[in-house]
Amino acid sequence: DTAVSQTPKYLVTQMGNDKSIKCEQNLGHDTMYWYKQDSKKFLKIMFSYNNKELIINETVPNRFSPKSPDKAHLNLHINSLELGDSAVYFCASSPKIGGPQHFGDGTRLSIL
Amino acid sequence: QQQVKQSPQSLIVQKGGISIINCAYENTAFDYFPWYQQFPGKGPALLIAIRPDVSEKKEGRFTISFNKSAKQFSLHIMDSQPGDSATYFCAASPFSGGYNKLIFGAGTRLAVHP
């Protein structure tokens, strides 16, 4: 009964490929987020959705496209992967905009 | 530019000691200040949070001290235990206004030695 679950946990792929990361939350929360944690552990928000509507879109390359089919799911698709995309990507959710955020355990993306 | 500055980068404390991690912010619109704890291979977990209408909040061995005029806040871990060894992140965001965009500090790696 994991609250925020991400798949896959590890993703190793080659430069130029397209890949997706999935996130699901069973907390009944309205708001979901994607964060990127770089090799120095710095955490930065990328996107946020509230009830399937995009509300935060940071200065992220347009190779990254989030999709929220329903408020319990937020997926992240990345086109034309680059070496600099190597990082841990975290999904999070909160009961509402402004509520405490609960994080998943991350997807470690490694680009060869 | 780093909107939330966190120090120290790493900290070693003996078991039973007090761990203190400091953060400073610039944006006066910030009014929600959480601390997150992250163990290796896991996501950050909310530890404790404070709003600027109080100067201190305590939950068990964890205390946040908040100084609004100095735009600084800190985490104190009393009676530190080896199980507290983790990376700690402070964060800040405007709680109201419709957008909960957490801005994180760079993190502090805490090691508690037995």
Cβ distance A107 to A88 under 8 Å?
A: yes
Q: What is the pLDDT of residue A44?
A: 94
pLDDT of residue A58: 86
- For the residues B60-77, what does the mean pLDDT come to? 96
What pLDDT sits at residue A99? 76
**pLDDT of A57 over the 70 cut:** yes
Q: How far is A85 from chain B (nearest CA, A)?
A: 18
Return d(Cα A42, Cα B64) in angstroms, integer: 22
Shortest CA distance to A53 belongs to which of A24, A81, A74, A23?
A74
Contacts of B106 in chain A (CB under 8 A): 40-42
CA–CA min distance A15, chain B (Å): 24
The arithmetic mean of pLDDT across residues A28-56, rounded, is 92
Q: How confident is the model at residue B1 (pLDDT cuts 50, 70, 90)?
A: low
Nearest to B98 among A44, A97, A103 (CB): A97
Residues in contact with B1: Cβ distance below 8 Å, sequence separation at least 6, in sequence order:
none
pLDDT at A96 over 80: no
- Does position A97 have pLDDT exceeding 90, yes or no? no
Identify the pLDDT of residue A106: 97
Give residue for tokens 């130029």: A16
B25-29 long-range contacts, Cβ below 8 Å, gap at least 24?
B25/B71, B25/B72, B25/B73, B25/B92, B25/B103, B26/B71, B27/B3, B27/B92, B27/B103, B28/B71, B29/B94, B29/B97
- Provide, as residue numbers in chain B, all residues whose Cβ is less than 8 Å from the Cβ of A94: 100
pLDDT 10s digits, A2-27: 699 999 999 999 999 999 999 999 99
